Structure 1
Amino acid sequence: MSSSVRSPDGTVIGFETLGDGPPMVLVHGTGADHTRWTAVRERLAARYRLYLVDRRGRGLSRDEAPGYAIAREGEDIAAVAEAAGGGVYLLAHSYGALCALEAVRKTDAVTRLLAYEPPRPKPGEHVVGADARDRMRAAGDPEEILRIFLREALRLGEADVEAMRGTPVWRARVAAAHTIPRELDVVEAMEFGEDLGEIALPVRLLAGTESPEYLRLAADAVAARVPGADVVPLHGQAHQAMDFDPDQFAAAVFAFGTR
């Protein structure tokens, strides 16, 4: 079932609901929409009432107010958590995890956060340099934007990119490709500062043992700032464990839910 809330800047944030049980709000990453969770949604819905968010600029949240900022994304997620009635388990992936870290400082409706590899460059380096972002902005083809992102940000080989083209979520990824450059701009400037120390709820980071180094270092950096946070490895997986090892991923989600 589809529903929506209005964020403070007037943007309507849409989401799908599924399952019964305590509320869980799921926040996808860059170049995706709520269908990003297709491989694990039925498993998770067996225990939780899922609120599968489309972040602003895509899917059910396509019409957005002008003036993009990640702080607005935090307000969006906070609004969904409050609409869910509070007591929310927040599950967020990649750039969505950065948005979730914003959200938990804007509402008390979230009671725990599981963040899978919130991105930040390795100190002194880039995730994707200005040249690649310029090429994305110059590309007339959204598939080319997506390909640059997958190859140069997630470090996927061409065979892996081609394999993703055959998945059900590829069309959604292409439709969201126009949002990729602006999110990469945020990632390149991202700093995990002392304000993370203000987060006063249980937080766990997930990190794939095969993920690019910058993602694993970023997970460690968040955990070092948030009181009581820890990092749990997803063995043999990189940045897409929900697709390639949904059993291990779901087990990690359930384990933190009963902590």
Structure 2
Amino acid sequence: MTETITSRDGTTLVVDTIGEGAPVILVGGAFNDRSTVAGLGAELASGFTVVTYDRRGRGASDDRSGDYLVANEVDDLAAVIAHVGGRASVFGHSSGAVLVLEGAMHRLPIDRVAVYEPSYYADESLPKPPADVYDRLRALVAAGDRDGAVELFLGEVVGVPAGAVAGMKTGETWPFLVDKAPSLPYDVLLSTPWQLMPFDRIAAIGVPVLAIYGDQTAPGLAAATRAVAETAPDAELEVMAGEDHAVLQRPAALATILAKFFS
């Protein structure tokens, strides 16, 4: 079932619901919309009411804020939780993982939080993007240069080599990525990858947390996931053998882990 709800600032969010049981909200990261978490949702639908939504500024959702603020997306998550009955468990992938952790840190009515490879900066021995990357990204989006925004994000935020980015531009998925360009400043603001993750705020999270990463993922993502598990007071760590950041393309094993945690 597809419905439309309204966030605090009037932004319209498109929400899909499938299955029956306790509500679980799935939140994708950068370059994701509700379609990219739909496979995971289908795997979980036999035991849960699974809710997915297009984060603001992407897919079928709009953005009426006029500014990029983390608070906007926290308000959106609150609106989705209200839509499903006022309480829910949540799962987030990458910057979506950071968003659901923000929801917990803002004391939204969340029962349990599961995250897959949150896109924090946690290991000072690893490279990080420059502090002006957000301003440059936002300027490219404002100028209508979506290709440039995607290239900047992939190259300087994610760390994809220039040759690989050039190859991606000729691939079938490039238009899908470019379509998400206006929402990329939200992903960067959530993660603030030029500075260390907010250990003190994560240490104040008051609900159970499951932090998951794949043993084939990038070192920075693995480090951030471990740091969340070590910092949140009631947290556990799960390492998936043979998996990397693209786990949403192979959702069955992840769904098994989440179903156990959310039950």
TM range (shorter): 0.7 to 0.9
Q: Counterpart in 2 of 1:128?
A: 129
Encode CA deviations 1:198-252: one digit per residue, 9 max, x unaligned. Answer: 3221111111111111111111222222112122112111111121x32222122
What secondary structure is seen at the aligned counterpart in 2 of 1:174? helix
1:226 partnered with 2:226? no
Whole-angstrom distance in 2 between the partners of 1:201 and 1:68: 27
Q: Counterpart in 2 of 1:8?
A: 8
Does the 8 Å contact 1:92/1:114 carry over to 2? Answer: yes
Whole-angstrom distance in 1 between the partners of 2:154 and 2:257: 25
Encode CA deviations 1:163-206: one digit per residue, 9 max, x unaligned. Answer: 99446xx6543211222245325422463232223322111111
Whole-angstrom distance in 2 between the partners of 1:29 and 1:41: 15
Does the 8 Å contact 1:154/1:212 carry over to 2? Answer: no
TM-score between both structures, scaled by the size of structure 2: 0.82
Change (3 A) 1:107 1:204: same
For 2:207, give the aligned amino acid.
L
Q: Counterpart in 1 of 2:206?
A: 200
Q: Counterpart in 2 of 1:242?
A: 248
Change (3 A) 1:67 1:150: closer
Whole-angstrom distance in 2 between the partners of 1:205 and 1:163: 32
For 1:90, give the aligned amino acid.
V
Change (3 A) 1:190 1:9: farther
Does the 8 Å contact 2:21/2:48 carry over to 1? Answer: yes
Question: Map of 1:143-158 to 2, 5 A cutoff?
Answer: 143=147, 145-150=149-154, 152-155=156-159, 158=164
1:255 partnered with 2:256? no
Q: Superposition RMSD on alpha carbons, in Å?
A: 2.9
What secondary structure is seen at the aligned counterpart in 2 of 1:30? coil
What secondary structure is seen at the aligned counterpart in 2 of 1:178? helix
Whole-angstrom distance in 2 between the partners of 1:119 and 1:3: 29
For 2:115, give the aligned amino acid.
A
Does the 8 Å contact 1:30/1:183 carry over to 2? Answer: yes
TM-score between both structures, scaled by the size of structure 1: 0.84
1:136 CA displacement:
8.4
Change (3 A) 1:123 1:235: same
Whole-angstrom distance in 1 between the partners of 2:189 and 2:110: 27
Whole-angstrom distance in 2 between the partners of 1:138 and 1:78: 30
User: Which consecutive residues of structure 2, in runs of 5 or more, have no partner in the other structure?
Assistant: none
Does the 8 Å contact 2:58/2:182 carry over to 1? Answer: no
Does the 8 Å contact 1:78/1:106 carry over to 2? Answer: no
Whole-angstrom distance in 2 between the partners of 1:255 and 1:171: 36
Whole-angstrom distance in 2 between the partners of 1:182 and 1:81: 20
Identity, % of aligned positions = 28
Encode CA deviations 1:97-116: one digit per residue, 9 max, x unaligned. Answer: 11111212345532111011
Whole-angstrom distance in 2 between the partners of 1:10 and 1:135: 25
Q: Counterpart in 1 of 2:73?
A: 73
Whole-angstrom distance in 2 between the partners of 1:149 and 1:205: 24
For 2:255, give the aligned amino acid.
A
Change (3 A) 1:173 1:190: farther
Does the 8 Å contact 1:22/1:87 carry over to 2? Answer: no
Does the 8 Å contact 1:25/1:89 carry over to 2? Answer: yes
1:104 partnered with 2:104? yes
1:142 CA displacement:
3.0
Q: Counterpart in 1 of 2:40?
A: 40
Whole-angstrom distance in 2 between the partners of 1:254 and 1:42: 12
For 1:184, give the aligned amino acid.
V
User: Which consecutive residues of structure 1, in runs of 5 or more, have no partner in the other structure?
Assistant: none
Encode CA deviations 1:75-122: one digit per residue, 9 max, x unaligned. Answer: 211221122113412011111111111212345532111011111223
Does the 8 Å contact 1:40/1:250 carry over to 2? Answer: yes
Whole-angstrom distance in 2 between the partners of 1:91 and 1:20: 17
